[in-house]
Structure 1
Amino acid sequence: MRLKLFYALVFVAVVSISFYACHSSSEKSVASEDIPETISYNFNIRPILSDKCFKCHGPDANKRQADLRLDMPESAYKALKDDPQAHALVPGDPGASELYRRITTSDSNDMMPTPKSGLKRLTPYEVSLIKKWIQQGAKYEKHWAFVPPKLPAVPEVENKTWPKNEIDHFVLHKQEQKGFTPNPEADKERLLKRLCLDLNGLPPDLATMDRFLADKRPDAYEQMVDELMARPQYGEKMALHWLDIARYADSHGYQDDNYRTQWPWRDWVIHAYNENLPYKDFITWQLAGDLMPNHTKEQLLATGFNRNHKITEEGGVIDEEYRITYVTDRTNTFGKALLGITLECAHCHDHKFDPFSQKDYYQVFSFFNSVKEPGLQSIVGGPETYAKRPMMQISNEDAKGILKFINKQDTGRLIVSVMGDSEAYRKTYILKRGNYDLHGDEVFPGTPKSILPFNGTYPKNRLGLAEWLFDDKNPLTARVYVNQVWEEFFGRGIVKTLGDFGMQGDLPSNPELLDWLAVDFKTHGWNIKRLVKQIVTSATYRQSAVITPDKYKNDPENVLLARGPRYRIPAEFVRDMILASSGLLNKTIGGPSVNPYQPPGLWESTTSGRGQLASYKQVHGPNLYRRGMYTLIKRTSPPVEMAIFDASNRDQCEVQRLRTNTPLQALEMMNDPTMLEAARVLAAKLLKENNQTKDKIYEAFRRIICRKPTEKEMTILNDYYAGQLRSINKKDAAELLNVGEYPIPQDVDKITLAAMMKVVDTIYNLEEAITKT
């Protein structure tokens, strides 16, 4: 036993000595590295402290050690509780700073982070940064995201000919600092495809392609931008991201997971984007349309945003527990979607990293706590359960008048869950450990002071909360939204962590650009279409997506934006591309969600067996070919073809989808009934045209890939078609064509159709078909 202990001690000693030796030698080598001339607390030091120190010496009072906070200068500078002669930080003197001694010592009893904390030790580079920061005075700064943005000067650049607007100056300035040069502009075919997917969520049709290629006007591109933004499909494209944020679905969730009629709210979102409703109004109506003086039915409908959360219909649940769950969801969504902060982390205790206390959380919670709703409303039944109180009824007169954007397809009763506060104010308490029945101190409506105090001029209700959100001094609102929009077009936000602008989130890759966009957005009336047009007309956006080995090696994530965006389109648009290119797409805007093809038994295995959604009832006819955003989302069994391509199941607010690459995605593209049916239908249309086979294949390629094929590509596809004609027999052809409900022309040769279908299917399965380049 003693021998084992001896060897263990020797091992620890050797590891410590080795670490100290490596640490010391590495620190010397770091001195020659590119340490910034001026060290910024926000951009150089705080990320290190947040990652390695705030767990024990940060905002969370419950986890704080030694009564030391390193996130606050007054605490970091003062004498240590256990050693009044020592100070964590002594500005100008690293040797006298206990922080520096602890991160450089080899004594396991003194080193920080402690071995038992599980945190990694600081790297030599990080140590060098802290040392230089202390030498320069150890100056603290308020977290960058909590400082109101100011309009920065547009930087000068060496390449004067490349920029097309202010965005390009900020982007190119960063590139030139790092020795990068931008890519040339993408060719017109790829640029048009990118633009159509980004503004309409659909590929361009042949007529649009031919017209754009033939348009030699100097402003042809800008004219196309205006045309696409004027189409009603623009609202559908822009709405999809907001549906993820708003956790929109067509069922209540939980075990029974019955049908709900929130789709009129979805129709309103599409309408709002098409009408270019200013972002300030877009959000204010959704937060507090019911509280606005003389509010309209449209403003009341907008508040359905706050009622999209899951709702239970199961008997035996505790009413107050679920009511609190609904309020919690609204509070978390507000923090994540509109402020870009992880406010939910303060639900059970003070935030461990950000300056949000549990009291802050429940002060925001109180804004949403007086909604006139119970936790449980009725057991699964008929249409009266499709919406939950408070709710509004939409009449046929409404659908012909003020709510004419709603695609009301019958004369039946249509009701939607909306907001409406009780006449009596409901008290709010801090919930100990987040438990619904453990009341702590009473709190009142308020917001985190670290962001912006909730002053006495705001009404103490959701309308006041909206005013606070759009106060010119609020540092987050504009930044968060322009960052979300930026991610929609470039696949990566300026702040990569869209839902976390706090201490643990990523730093902005171009803070000056982010602040310029935010201030410009605010000062131009929160105009969303203007913001979108600025982005897509920039030279930054119009670059070729070609990746050179040097750029891939030095900037694999394209943080510097020295090339165009290249990534797979969202799940719903994969479906839309297939339907649009084949000619099957039903372009009807809005209306009830539909059930297209789905493997049998999925719903039945996840339901309680009660309610309208107990079994899957597939639609037929034109409704089979609606856009992906209109596919009915049952939360306990979301559309499988969407889920495979990373679509949200809408359980909770999601500001950013994952983007994966799995074998299941390839299998879906090869076997999905909609895809195979589209290939068959497009093949039949091509065969009816009076031209040569090579022309048919050429057209199929253009419809799907949105560019002209190369000679090599045409050779491969023509040879493949000839091979299929030789190998397919009548039995194989009949089996292959037996997919989907769209009728097969009777006057077409089945073997020829099957061979052409295989060619079209092959083109659909090219990576480029579902990739924005």
Structure 2
Amino acid sequence: MKKKDAALYFLVFFIAAIFVKWMFSNQDEEYILLTENKSEHSNSSKKGTKTVAIPKIPEVISYSFHVKPILSDKCYACHGPDEGSREAGLRFDTKDGAYIPLGENKDRFAAKPGDVENSEMIQRIYSQDDHKLMPPPDSNLTLSEYEKGVLKKWIESGAQWDSHWSFKVPVKGALPIVKNVTWGNNEIDKFILKRLEDEELLPSEIASKEKLIRRVSFDLTGLPPTIEETENFIKDTSEKAFEKVVDRLLNSNAYGERMALDWMEVARYADTHGYQDDLERIMWPWRDWVIHAFNKNLPYDEFVKWQLAGDQIDNASLEQIVASGFNRNHKITQEGGVIDEEYRVEYVMDRANTTAKAFMGLTMECARCHDHKYDPISQKEFYGMYSFFNQLKEKGQIDYGEIPEPYVALDQKTIKTELPFVNIPDSITEVKLMVMKDEKGIRKNHLLKRGLYDAPGEEVSYALPNEVLPFSDQYSEDRLGLSQWFFDDQNPLTARVMVNRLWQQMFGAGIVITADDFGNQGALPTHPELLDWLAVTFKEEGWDIKSTLKKIALSATYQQDSKITPELLEKDPENRLLARGSRYKLPAEAIRDNALLASGLLVKKVGGPSVKPYQPKGLWAETTSGVGLTEYIADKGEGLYRRSLYTFWKRTVPPPSMLTFDAASRDFCTVQRQKTSTPLQALVLMNDPQFIEAATIMAIQVLENDSFDEKQKIKTLFRKITSRSPDEIELNKLSTYLNEQRQTEIVKKTESKVTKQSVTIPENIPPKELRAYTALASLLFNLDETITKS
């Protein structure tokens, strides 16, 4: 393990340990509830052995979808794009390379179309001789019988070649013909149903209205529906009832906040510079712009162009210049003794890598030190892209308190007249925001040998991966030209990558599940024709993000119930075919915001500086050098209850509860979060003061309502937290639990420390009742149903 990785793992473990200790120090025994987190994808062991059937070899072999993934996984390391590691002069990543004559006499061929006997590849993969066998035993790679069969059949059928699927311009083909013509709401459903019919599966029934409005509310706004909103939807029996809900959500301020949440991780946004001392920076006005851009539905091509090159647009407005702050969200060091040029180069690398992953879905960083080993990206092309971000006059190491140049100063008057979407408090007279401003010609662009800042190689020109789309003289050699290249009608990646992430937002996984890798090592699309149809439609409709999300939400595919059957569990355990609704854990921010909204604590103010809700005492001091931001002082009042989007993000010590629920660290661009289920997550829900406080307040609310009997109190808590009504069995179980809590002896004081500070308990509420109902609300916050999108 690298020293850097070891240090990171130690830091995460250390933060988690402090966080758990802090949670328990704030928690009374009567609030500690034991809940069971059940996952539909349980990995429980089973007795006996299971025979795994060999997959059926396709009738028609596609090079791109069947053959290339095998070659990429098992052959490219020695016979791929990287010339430095290529052996025997053989390469399988190009047509000419695969068919080239081999040997001294040039009379042998690795792949000879239609001729299995004389195709060296087939002889080698079936060889019993370890000296001839491919892949060689010492590579620790093996081919399955299915993979061997595919390669053999490919040769037999003529070894037809094709370029990588994602490098071909998407085409909007005809809609599939399906047998069940009565199912489906729009074109999306045709593609999904065709695949289900091919697999002899049936789609699921529509989800209940309560589940449906909760699902779409979280997906489009990151917040649950209120009881009133749910009631209105249930009562609306019109054909367009759900469409009205979708339109309302898309037109709400909360929509922009939800969309901005994902974009913060794409842009690696933080409120500090990072590295050892990790001092504070001001970037929140850029975040306010992102929220504003999503809410006004700025077309995606403009949204990207302004962020990549807003400063280079002719007569650029201040808003467009502010948008270019996207490129300045990377880490910046304040540490003394560092080599300035080394870190400046790292900042340029970060901008290039972020742009490639965010808008191309490619791992271009793999070509920093040598040609990419799996994708057709040369080291020279990597530095051609690097060049677009290399003309900024910036320092590698800044002084304490220094605002990294270039920046724009925004005062109250400027914001009021030109940037009204920026929510600047009256207490702040001016902010200085980092933006882009090139000074072309200040340095030459060189390939860096082995990726080292002090090993310049040949001079390079502005370039991008030729296999994707050549960068010709029709584009200007600057970041504006780069944005033009991204939105050229012949660029095969930009639209695909974005609609895939929108699909991921709505279903939990993209049509390409590796949202960060559309290259040879990435996953194949489960529904390639659908992905292309969505991509072309996205472009045809003017890069309209809201329109794409609405189309997905209104599909019958999206509205299916998530109940899983034994047949679906066996045939499609990960729900890749979408014969049912998606079911997965909500994002960290949505879990916390659900508790805030359900309890009435949520402050819905949009934008402004970041805030500091509850966090373990002393955490910053324990994990810093003793200089800079060493003490975390939690806010009082509304700062405790803003949406999680606005939580202060210290890059070296991110909010621990969010990390526990899989939020990214924001050290680098992230387009896809991990999804885990760990004991620490349950401890957060049971012991985090934010959840204890919300549970206490909800208990007070129902106890103060004299018109409610016990069942009505339970129903109210259940509906507010889960968005649905409990059935009689659930009511009886919860009532029994409530009685058990009433009988529990008081070992400690009723109120936790946080409750004493922030909640006023009416004198007329009996302590036992408060304790019992608080425990009940806490239990409901811990339900799998509460924290899971289902």
Out of 146, 155, 172, which is 2:167 matched to?
146
What is the aligned counterpart of 2:587 among 567, 570, 578? 570
The question of whether the paired residues in 2 share the 8 Å contact of 1:677 and 1:740 is answered with no
The equivalent of 2:713 in structure 1 is 696
Structure 1 counterpart of 2:461, one-letter code: F
Alignment match, 1:66: 88
How far did residue 135 of structure 1 move? 1.3
Alpha-carbon distance change, 403 to 87 in structure 1, aligned in 2, over 3 angstroms: same
Q: In the alignment, which residue of structure 2 is the partner of 1:660?
A: 676
Return the match for 1:630 from 635, 643, 646. 646
Alignment map for 1:158-237 (pairs within 5 Å): 158-237=179-258
1:86 paired residue among 88, 108, 112: 108
Alpha carbons of 1:411 and 1:593: their partners in 2 closer, same or farther (altered >3 Å)?
closer
Alignment of 1:351-370 (within 5 A): 351-370=372-391
- The CA deviation string for residues 203-255 of structure 1, in whole angstroms up to 9 with x for no partner, is 11111111111111111110111011111000011111111100001110000
Counterpart of 1:304 (choices 325, 340, 350) is 325
Q: Among residues 650, 661, 672, which one is paired with 1:645 in the alignment?
A: 661
Determine if contact 1:310/1:651 at 8 Å carries over to the other structure. Answer: yes
CA distance in 1, matches of 2:787, 2:567: 26
- Corresponding residue number in structure 1 for 2:610: 593
Offset of residue 115 of structure 1: 1.5
The yes-or-no answer on 1:254 pairing with 2:271 is no
Letter in structure 1 aligned against 2:586: I
Instruction: State the number of aligned residues.
Output: 736
Contact 2:696/2:755, CA 8 A, preserved across alignment: no
- Which of 381, 389, 394 is the aligned partner of 2:405? 389
| Alignment correspondent of 2:155 | 134
In 2, the alpha carbon distance for the partners of 1:147 and 1:731 equals 67
Distance across 1 between alignment mates of 2:599 and 2:229: 16
**Corresponding residue SS for 1:457:** coil
Q: Secondary structure at the match of 1:95?
A: coil
Task: Decide whether the 8 Å contact of 2:395 with 2:404 is kept in 1.
Answer: no
For residue 83 of structure 1, report the CA deviation from its aligned partner: 5.0
Q: Distance in 1 between matches of 2:372 and 2:246?
A: 44
RMSD between aligned residues: 1.4
Q: Secondary structure at the match of 2:619?
A: coil
Match of 1:76 among 84, 95, 98: 98
| Distance in 2 between residues matched to 1:492 and 1:714, nearest whole Å | 34
Of residues 655, 664, 673, the one that matches 2:689 is: 673
Structure 1 distance, partners of 2:255, 2:118, is: 61
Q: What 5-or-longer segments of structure 1 have no aligned partner?
A: 1-28
Displacement, 1:615?
Answer: 1.1
| CA offsets 1:302-360 (integer angstroms, 9 cap, x no match) | 11110000000111111100000000000100111110001000001000010000001
Please say if residues 300 and 543 of structure 2, whose CA atoms lie closer than 8 Å, have aligned partners that are also in contact.
Answer: yes
How far 1:749 sits from its partner (Å)? 2.5
Residues 160-198 of structure 1, C-alpha deviation per residue, up to 9 Å, x if partnerless?
111100000001011101101100000100001101111
Which residue of the partner structure matches residue 12 of structure 2? none
Secondary structure of the 1:496 match is coil
Contact 2:56 2:146 in 1 (8 A): no
Match of 1:283 in 2: 304
CA contact (8 A) 1:673 1:740 kept: no
Q: Tell me the distance in 2 between the aligned counterparts of 1:759 and 1:127.
A: 57
The whole-number CA distance in structure 1 between the counterparts of 2:688 and 2:727 is 28
Local SS of the residue matching 2:274: coil
More moved, 300-309 vs 405-414: 405-414
Question: Does 2:578 correspond to 1:561?
Answer: yes
Post-superposition offset of 1:646:
0.6
Alpha-carbon distance in structure 2 between the residues aligned to 1:730 and 1:695: 29
Report the Cα distance in structure 2 between the residues aligned to 1:569 and 1:524, rounded to whole angstroms. 30
Alpha-carbon deviations, 1:500-553, whole Å to 9, x = none? 000110000000000000000001100000000000010000000000011011
Alignment CA distance shift 1:403-1:728 (3 Å): farther
Cα offset for 1:737? Answer: 8.0
The 5 A counterparts of 1:409-420 are: 409=425, 410-420=427-437
Contact preservation (8 Å) 1:576, 1:627: yes
Q: Deviations over 1:748-769 (max 9, x none)?
A: 3322212211111111111111
Are 2:456 and 1:456 aligned?
no
Match of residue 398 from structure 1: 414
Unaligned runs of 5+ in 2: 1-52
Asked whether 1:34 is paired with 2:34, we answer: no
Please report how far the alpha carbon of residue 109 of structure 1 lies from its aligned counterpart in structure 2 after TM superposition.
1.3
Quote the offset at 1:114 in angstroms.
Answer: 1.1
Structure 2: how far apart are the matches of 1:423 and 1:459?
12
The amino acid of 2:420's aligned partner reads K
Matching residue within 472, 478, 484 for 2:489:
472
| 1:114 to 2:136 alignment | yes
Following superposition, the deviation at residue 396 of structure 1 comes to 0.8
State how far apart, in whole Å, the 2-side matches of 1:556 and 1:82 are: 51
Deviations 1:270-308 (A, max 9, x none): 111100000000000000000000001110011111000
Query: Residue by residue, what CA displacement relative to the aligned partner does 1:67-121 show, whole Å, maximum 9, x if unpaired?
Result: 111111212212114452211111110100111111111111111111122222x
- Residue of structure 2 aligned with 1:765, choices 762, 778, 782: 782
Measure, in 2, the Cα distance between the counterparts of 1:193 and 1:82.
68
Structure 1 SS opposite 2:83: coil
Question: In the aligned structure 2, how far is the partner of 1:748 from the partner of 1:527?
Answer: 53
Residues 122-180 of structure 1: CA deviation (Å, up to 9, x unaligned): 11211111111111111110111000001111111111111100000001011101101
How far apart, CA to CA, are the structure 2 residues paired with 1:758 and 1:72? 64
Superposition deviation, residue 452 in structure 1: 0.2
TM-superposed deviation, 1:738 = 4.0
- SS of equivalent residue, structure 2 residue 205: coil
2:446 touches 2:456 (CA, 8 Å); kept in 1? yes
Q: 1:104 aligns with which of 104, 126, 139?
A: 126
Deviations 1:561-601 (CA, angstroms, capped at 9, x unpaired): 00001111100111100100011111111111111111112
Distance 2:216 2:440 in 1: 49
Q: Which amino acid aligns with 2:518?
A: F
AA aligned to 2:230 is M
1:468–1:425 CA distance, 2 compared to 1 (3 A): farther
Q: Does 1:620 align with 2:644?
A: no
Structure 2: distance between partners of 1:301 and 1:485: 25
Q: 1:617: Cα distance to partner? A: 1.3
- Determine the C-alpha separation between the residues in 2 that align with 1:82 and 1:404: 73
CA shift in 2, pair 1:371/1:84, >3 Å: same
Q: Which amino acid letter does the alignment assign opposite residue 543 of structure 1?
A: Q
Percent identity of paired positions between Structure 1 and Structure 2 = 50
Query: Which residue of the partner structure matches residue 321 of structure 1?
Result: 342
AA in 2 matched with 1:707:
R
Taking structure 2 as the reference length, the TM-score comes to: 0.92
Structure 1 equivalent of residue 285 of structure 2: 264
* SS of residue matched to 1:430: strand
Distance in 2 (CA, whole Å) between partners of 1:355 and 1:341 is 11
1:444 to 436, 447, 461: 461
Which residue of 2 is the match for residue 3 of structure 1? Answer: none
Which residue of 2 is the match for residue 24 of structure 1?
Answer: none
Q: Is the 8 A contact 1:276 1:529 kept in 2?
A: yes
Where in structure 2 are the equivalents of 1:235-246 lying within 5 Å? Answer: 235-246=256-267
Match of 2:736 in 1: 719
The TM-score normalised by the length of structure 1 is: 0.94
TM superposition shift of 1:730: 8.5
Cα deviation per residue 1:651-681 (whole Å; 9 max; x = unaligned)?
Answer: 0000100010000000111000000000001
The offset of 1:725, in angstroms, is 2.1
Amino acid at match of 1:329: D
